Structure 1
Amino acid sequence: MVISARALNRSTLARQLLLEREPLDVVEAVRRVVALQAQQHASPYLALWNRIDGFDPASLDTALAGRRLAKSTLMRVTLHLVDAADFGVFREAMEPTLRAARLGDARFRAAGIGPEETAGLVAGLLEYTGRPRADAEARAWAEERLGVPLEAPAWRMLRQYAPLWHAPVPGPWSFGARHTWAGPGTPPRLADPKAADAGLRVLLLRYLAGFGPASVADMAQFTMATRSRVRAAVRALDGELEELAGPEGAVLFDVPGAPRPDEDTPAPPRLMAMWDSVLLAYADRGRVIPPEYRREVIRVNGDVLPTLLVDGRVAGVWRAVAGGIEATAFHGLPEAVWEGLAAEAVSLTALLADRDPLVYRRYDHWWARGFLAADTRLLGPG
């Protein structure tokens, strides 16, 4: 079967709940979309607002407080929000990547902590965080266990490697600048190659269900697992996957029965969160981001700006300002699209009003530098 670039876009939108908001529980929604990028505290809330019909941010607060959702370092060695029931197998899948990226980092190796000592330190840290511990408490515990000071970079590598959850704290978005750590309850199996390989197979099946069809390169990009590991996992899944031909003959894989809407299916406008997963889940980001706009929205230091999604693809950026949402389009948009974006802006402004009306304001410096702009408008209640 051959699938076009536009049909791939519509498959992504359907599976990511972006063709139509659905009346889902927050945990089910997170599970459906696999994981939400979460290094910016507000982004999971905005991502779910884009996907759930009648989204109430308090429902996400409650799910986090009740440990039904977990925020931890996972895919691409970045923070993600996942269904707590998925955390163990996802973390096992990511073990080789996280071990290499964090315990193999020169800043951790400089601490001189050997493999056995590290394993004992991680196990003890998970036990110590059986109840939530402030970052300073957890670091002090580790230093006492080691009997020597632990430099800040080495501690950062250790806490990102350890399968710790971010515990909710008071604030508009359940998390803040000061971290509090909690153990996962049942620790995942670390340094176990069989668990890692089995976990990767599960994660790739879930990825394809949430983002497919996709190539080996796409799967490696989403996880930051090596392509050799991904290829081996795909081979092991022989018989469970369908193979398709993508644009320019690309070999793509998918799970049978997953939605593949017609390429002409309408896609409503959306105001996407910073670092939304649909912008980062593929090696071929052209599925959602036109190549000429990539540098406009993905900045050299890794910031992925909040975007306008029009007809399923990035068409500009937005920011919250006094009075509403300032939307900057990179090309001319029909008035009907602006009307749709304005309706989204009214809804988003209402969501932000009780939480953080100027969300993402620390990134306003990118607007001072200017964009490839065709049209900028203030959208909102007024």
Structure 2
Amino acid sequence: MKVTAQALNRATLARQLLLGRESLDVQDAVRRVVALQAQEPASPYIALWNRLSGFDPAGFDLALARLQTVKATLMRLTLHAVHAEDYRTFREAMEPTLRGSRLGDPRFTASGLTADDADVLVAELLKYADRPRTAAEMGGWLEARLGAPMESAAQRMLRQYAPLWHARTGGPWSFETRPSYVAADTPPVLADPEVVAEGLQILIRRYLEGFGPASVADMAQFALVQRARVRSAVSALADELEQLEGPGDTVMYDIPGAPRPTEDSPAPPRLMAMWDSILLAYADRSRVIPPAYRKHVTRMNGDVLPTILVDGYVAGVWRPVDSGIEATAFHPLRGPVWEELAAEARSLIAFLAPRDPRVYKRYDHWWIKGLPSAETRLLPGD
């Protein structure tokens, strides 16, 4: 069966709850979308605001406080918020990538410690982190344990490798800039290759449920794992997956019966969070980002700006300013689209007001440096 680029776009939007806001419990929503990119604390909240009708951020606060949703270093070696019950499997799937990138990082190896040394340290560190511990507390514990100073970069590599959750520290979006950590309540099994392989199969199946159809390259990009591992996992899942022919004769895979709406399904405008997962979940990012706009959205240092989605594709960027939402379109937009964006902006302004009206302010320098603009409008609140 052949599937077009436009159909792929609509499949992603449907599975990511972006064809229409849905009435779901926060926990169900997090599981549906698989994972929420979370290195910027506000982004999971704005991602859920885009996807859920009547979203109450207090419900997400509570899920994070109760560790029903957890924040940890996972896919693409970045922070994600995932359902607590998914964490163990996802972490097992990511073990080779995290082990190689963190314990093989020159900043860690310069400490003189080996990966075997790290295994011993991690086991003891998890016992120490039976309650929330700050980075400074963990650093003090490590230095006392080693009897020598340990560079902060090496400590960071070790913390990112260890199966630790970020503990809620407060602030408008549950996490402040200085993190605290707590041990995962059910530690993943990291030393068993069969468990790790099975974990990747589960992660790939979940990825396809939330982002499919997708190619092997897309799956590898989503998790940042070797394509050979993905091919092995796809082979093991062969009886459970449907094979499709994508644009350019690309072999793609999907879950039989998963939502694939028609190409002409309407896609309402959205004001997307920084680092929203749909912008990063594919090797072929033209599924959502027109190639000409990619460099404007994904900056050289890796920042992924908050974007405007029009008819399912990135059409510009936005930022809060003192008097509303400043929307910058990369190409001309029709009047009715601007009206819909204005309604979204009013809702977003009201959503941000009690917590952080100037969310993402520290990224204003990208606007100061200049962005291409066919038109920029100030969209005010009520």
The two structures have a TM-score, normalised by structure 2, of 0.99
2:120 & 2:197 partners in 1: Cα distance? 23
Partner residue, 2:335: 335
Partner residue, 1:163: 163
- State the shift of 1:146 in Å: 1.4
User: Which stretch of structure 1 is more off in the superposition, 128-137 or 115-124?
Assistant: 115-124
Partner residue, 2:110: 110
Residue by residue over 1:14-68, the C-alpha shift from the partner in whole angstroms, topping out at 9 and shown as x without a partner, is: 0000001111111110100000000001000000000011001111100000110
2:6 & 2:170 partners in 1: Cα distance? 43
Residue by residue over 1:303-347, the C-alpha shift from the partner in whole angstroms, topping out at 9 and shown as x without a partner, is: 000000000000000000011100000001011100110000001
Residue by residue over 1:248-305, the C-alpha shift from the partner in whole angstroms, topping out at 9 and shown as x without a partner, is: 1110000111000000000000000000000000000000000000001000100000
User: Which stretch of structure 1 is more off in the superposition, 137-146 or 11-20?
Assistant: 137-146
1:20 & 1:136 partners in 2: Cα distance? 44
- State the shift of 1:161 in Å: 0.4
- State the shift of 1:112 in Å: 1.2
Please give the secondary structure, in 2, of the residue aligned with 1:155. Answer: helix
- Residue segments in structure 2 that go unaligned for 5+ positions in a row: none
* Matched AA of 2:66: G
Partner residue, 2:283: 283
2:99 & 2:60 partners in 1: Cα distance? 30
Please give the secondary structure, in 2, of the residue aligned with 1:198. Answer: helix
- State the shift of 1:115 in Å: 3.1
Partner residue, 2:96: 96
Matched, 1:27 2:35: no
1:260 & 1:360 partners in 2: Cα distance? 33
Partner residue, 1:376: 376
Partner residue, 2:177: 177
Partner residue, 2:203: 203
Partner residue, 1:119: 119
1:189 & 1:274 partners in 2: Cα distance? 32
1:116 & 1:43 partners in 2: Cα distance? 36
Partner residue, 2:190: 190
- State the shift of 1:373 in Å: 0.5
2:361 & 2:380 partners in 1: Cα distance? 17
Matched, 1:218 2:218: yes
Matched, 1:319 2:319: yes
Partner residue, 2:301: 301
Deviant stretches of 4+, over 3 Å: none
* Matched AA of 2:139: R
Partner residue, 2:135: 135
Please give the secondary structure, in 1, of the residue aligned with 2:240. Answer: coil
Partner residue, 1:361: 361
Matched, 1:233 2:264: no
- State the shift of 1:192 in Å: 2.1
- Are the equivalent residues in 1 in contact too, given 2:205–2:255 (CA < 8 A)? yes
Partner residue, 1:38: 38
Partner residue, 1:272: 272
The two structures have a TM-score, normalised by structure 1, of 0.99
1:261 & 1:105 partners in 2: Cα distance? 43
2:169 & 2:306 partners in 1: Cα distance? 25
* Matched AA of 1:266: P
- Residue segments in structure 1 that go unaligned for 5+ positions in a row: none
Partner residue, 1:254: 254
1:220 & 1:115 partners in 2: Cα distance? 24
Partner residue, 1:310: 310
- State the shift of 1:116 in Å: 3.0
- State the shift of 1:185 in Å: 1.0
* Matched AA of 1:380: P
Please give the secondary structure, in 1, of the residue aligned with 2:239. Answer: coil
* Matched AA of 2:100: A
User: Which stretch of structure 1 is more off in the superposition, 214-223 or 111-120?
Assistant: 111-120
Matched, 1:84 2:75: no
CA-based RMSD of the aligned residues comes to 0.7
- State the shift of 1:117 in Å: 2.2
2:325 & 2:114 partners in 1: Cα distance? 51
- State the shift of 1:148 in Å: 1.2
- State the shift of 1:191 in Å: 2.7
1:316 & 1:56 partners in 2: Cα distance? 27
- State the shift of 1:162 in Å: 0.5
Please give the secondary structure, in 2, of the residue aligned with 1:173. Answer: coil
Residue by residue over 1:172-210, the C-alpha shift from the partner in whole angstroms, topping out at 9 and shown as x without a partner, is: 000011110011111101132111100000000000000
- State the shift of 1:114 in Å: 2.6
User: Which stretch of structure 1 is more off in the superposition, 181-190 or 13-22?
Assistant: 181-190
2:185 & 2:50 partners in 1: Cα distance? 31
Aligned length: 382
Please give the secondary structure, in 2, of the residue aligned with 1:252. Answer: strand
- Are the equivalent residues in 1 in contact too, given 2:103–2:114 (CA < 8 A)? no
Partner residue, 2:53: 53
- State the shift of 1:135 in Å: 1.2
